[in-house]
Amino acid sequence: MNTINPYIGFNGKCREAMIFYQQCFGGDLELREVAGSPMEQSWQGDKDQIFHSALTISGNPFIMGSDMRDQNGYIKGNNITLAIGCSSEDNIRNLFEDLSKNGKVLKPLKEASWGGLFGSIEDQFGITWFLNYEKDNS
């Protein structure tokens, strides 16, 4: 079954925001800094900013976030992406094709540094989607 979670851009305040949400909702918090990540060499900001974060509750993803920004930069109000955890390779490929119709591919579907199959799309309505399939979960 697919899961969908908000993926929020925090423009340098990801650590602070995610710690706040953990205090509000409970759960386990994972914070991955830019330093030591695949983005370290190309990132223009502080290396202690957050590359990826995830707040999980009862082992399930709840909110994800980052200080990373796309080529358009940070735009308050347009900083939430919908992240889908796909259930199979066929599932991610079909969703990627369907969601990209009349939209635009931001990152082609390919093997990611963490071992998952990942791609991102802006659909025809301007909504940004992250699609990820963790191959080890099959």
The CB density around residue 29, as the number of other CB atoms within 10 Å, is 16
Question: What token pair was written down for 80?
Answer: 């939430």
**CB crowding 100-127: b at 16 or more within 10 Å, else e:** beebeebeebeeeeeebbbbbbbbeeee
pLDDT (0 to 100) of residue 24: 80
> For residue 31, what pLDDT is reported?
96
CATH of 1-68, one of 3.40.50.410, 3.40.50.300, 3.40.50.970, 3.10.180.10: 3.10.180.10
Query: pLDDT per residue over 22-63, tens digit each?
Result: 998 889 999 999 888 877 777 777 888 898 999 998 988 889
**Mean pLDDT of all residues in 126-135:** 88
Look at residue 37 in the predicted model and tell me its pLDDT: 81
Alpha carbon distance 130, 118 (integer Å): 7
CATH number listed for the domain at residues 78-138: 3.30.720.110
Residues of the chain with CATH 3.10.180.10: 1-68
pLDDT at residue 13 is higher than 70: yes
Q: How confident is the model at residue 138 (pLDDT cuts 50, 70, 90)?
A: very low
Residues with Cβ < 8 Å from 71, sequence gap 6 or more? Answer: none
What is the model's pLDDT at position 77?
Answer: 66
Residue 90 has pLDDT above 80, yes or no: yes
